Amino acid sequence: MKWEELNDLGQLSRIDEESKTIKVLIFKHSTRCNISNVALERFDRDWKDSNNSKIKSYYLDLLNHRDISSAIADHYHIEHQSPQVLIISNGKCIFNESHLNIQVSEILSAVI
């Protein structure tokens, strides 16, 4: 997986702009949570490099960036979860899944 680290609130505006030309994935991850670790490992295992051309991917360490995690929930009108995957298109969240329901096949269906 080709991740860009999400570590600044200003990146949300950039994500909205990017999402006008390519779908954007945000993976919110808690490094201290076993479920989050399993979800991220499974995601990385199932992701194919060829998918990188279909979506731009951001990784958020929410323990280090709780402010950004809260801003994401407010900005995209979603309930905070951890782990959580969001797909952003045209500045709106079009897909939102959490915990062990995070599946690459469902994400790709939302992107295509």
Q: Whole-model pTM?
A: 0.94
Answer whether residue 111 shows pLDDT above 90. Answer: no
Dist CA 100 CA 91 (whole Å) = 26
Are 110 and 95 contacting, i.e. CB atoms less than 8 angstroms apart?
yes
Question: For tokens 């200003």, what's the residue?
Answer: 10
Range of the domain at 75: 3-111
The structural domain count of the chain equals 1
Q: What CATH number is associated with residue 85? A: 3.40.30.10
Answer whether residue 1 shows pLDDT above 80. Answer: no
Question: For tokens 């006008």, what's the residue?
Answer: 20
Dihedral of the alpha carbons of 101, 98, 12, 59, in degrees to the nearest 10: -70
pLDDT tens digits for 77-109? 999 989 999 999 999 999 999 998 899 989 888
pLDDT tens digits for 35-64? 999 999 999 999 998 888 889 999 999 999
